[in-house]
């Protein structure tokens, strides 16, 4: 949507850019200290002239001492961050806009319906008769609403939790299981946020071969699972880039510290 407001998080939060909220004075949310959603919300709050309070359970000492990536830029946008064990809950304060972790809420449907229409227009321009769509999932919100507004099959794979976790996330927003995306189970469990040599390798290979920089948190898991499932390629495939490239700054720092001899 803009240089500073991009990726699937921008699609999820598009609703809050497109509508007026005269009573709102601040945004409240929670999640990890390097979350893509955290940065996107800091941009949203800055654009709208709102304060931004963000809660997390932990900030690594290295990150505190050397701010970088989403954490650094969200702070520069005016975010106030609080370390607390308990997850905050929505209050009755009508001046505060509460956003669930990762943007998992019904308002996300607005921006994803627009994305589905853009995909359909692109398909017609390219004269593609049928299409499969694939993207990795955290809360699964993007995949869910994309499937709801697309006539093509949307495939996704869990990155944050397992298959059961992803199904639970879908059900929080859509009770009709027939409307859910098709979940592809990865061949091995990769813990979210943990560094894997194969994840970095596929990220680097894609960049070298395609000339595209992908996100280092979600996209490597997505591509590794996708390439294990050739049946998804039975039709032309559209892969949804996850955006969040500012987060690569911190991910690359972590990879360098772990695999310093080769990165």
Convert the chain into a string of H (helix), E (strand) and C (coil): CECCECHHHHHHHHHHHHCCCCCCCEEEEECCCCCHHHHHHHHHHHHHCCEEEEEECCCCHHHHHCCCHHHHHHHHCCEEEEECCCCCCCCCCCCEEECCHHHCCCCHHHHHHHHHHHHHHHHHHHCCCCCEEEEEECCCHHHHHHHHCCCCEEEEEECCCCHHHHHHHHHHHCCCHHHCCEECCCCCCCCCCCCCHHHHHHHHHHHHHHCCCCCCCCHHHHHHHHHCCHHHHHCCEEECCCCCHHHHHHHHHHHHHHCCCCC
Using a cut of 0.85, tell me whether the model's pTM lies above it.
Answer: yes
Fold of 7-103: Rossmann fold (3.40.50)
Give the pLDDT score at 193.
87
Rounded alpha-carbon distances, angstroms, from residue 235 to 31, 38, 120, 149, 228: 36, 35, 15, 19, 16
Phi, psi of 137 (to 5 degrees): -130, 145
Query: How many Å apart are CA 242 and CA 29, to the nearest integer?
Result: 20
Q: Determine contact, residues 245/216, Cβ cutoff 8 Å.
A: no
**Nearest by Cα to 171 from 104, 222, 242, 113:** 104
Give the pLDDT score at 105.
92
Structure tokens, 54:
């963000």
Query: How many Å apart are CA 106 and CA 222, to the nearest integer?
Result: 24
One pLDDT digit (tens) per residue for the chain, 263 residues? 566 666 778 899 999 999 999 999 999 999 999 888 999 999 999 999 999 999 999 999 989 999 998 999 999 999 999 999 888 888 888 999 999 998 889 999 999 999 999 999 999 999 999 999 999 999 999 999 999 999 999 999 999 989 999 999 999 999 999 999 999 999 998 998 899 999 999 999 999 999 999 999 999 999 999 999 999 999 999 999 998 888 898 899 889 888 876 66
Query: How many Å apart are CA 230 and CA 237, to the nearest integer?
Result: 11
Rounded alpha-carbon distances, angstroms, from residue 20 to 12, 16, 24, 107: 16, 8, 9, 13
Domain ranges, ordered by start, for the chain: 7-103, 108-258
Rounded alpha-carbon distances, angstroms, from residue 185 to 9, 140, 143, 167, 188: 23, 14, 15, 12, 8
Structure tokens, 241:
């880039």
Domain 108-258: give its CATH architecture.
3-Layer(aba) Sandwich (3.40)
């Amino acid at each position: 949507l803009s240089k500073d407001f991009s990726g699937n998080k921008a699609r999820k939060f598009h609703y809050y850019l497109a509508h007026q909220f005269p009573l709102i004075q601040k945004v409240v949310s929670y999640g990890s200290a390097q979350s893509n959603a955290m940065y996107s919300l800091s941009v949203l709050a800055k654009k709208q002239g709102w304060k931004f309070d963000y809660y997390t359970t932990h900030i690594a000492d290295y990150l505190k001492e050397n701010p970088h990536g989403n954490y650094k830029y969200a702070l520069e946008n005016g975010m106030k961050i609080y370390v607390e064990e308990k997850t905050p809950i929505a209050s009755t304060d009508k001046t505060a806009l509460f956003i669930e972790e990762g943007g998992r809420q019904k308002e996300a449907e607005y921006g994803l319906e627009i994305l589905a229409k853009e995909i359909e227009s692109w398909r017609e321009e390219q004269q593609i008769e049928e299409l499969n769509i694939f993207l990795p999932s955290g809360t699964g919100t993007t995949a869910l609403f994309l499937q709801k507004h697309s006539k093509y099959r949307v495939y996704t794979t869990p990155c944050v939790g397992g298959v059961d976790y992803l199904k639970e996330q879908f059900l929080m927003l859509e009770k009709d299981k027939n409307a859910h995306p098709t979940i592809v189970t990865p061949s091995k469990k990769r813990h979210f946020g943990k560094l894997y040599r194969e994840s970095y390798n596929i990220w680097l290979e894609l960049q070298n071969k395609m000339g595209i920089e992908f996100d280092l948190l979600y996209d490597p898991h997505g591509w590794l699972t996708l390439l294990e499932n050739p049946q998804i390629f039975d039709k032309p495939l559209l892969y949804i880039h996850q955006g969040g490239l500012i987060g690569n700054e911190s991910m690359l720092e972590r990879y360098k510290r772990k695999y310093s001899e080769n990165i």
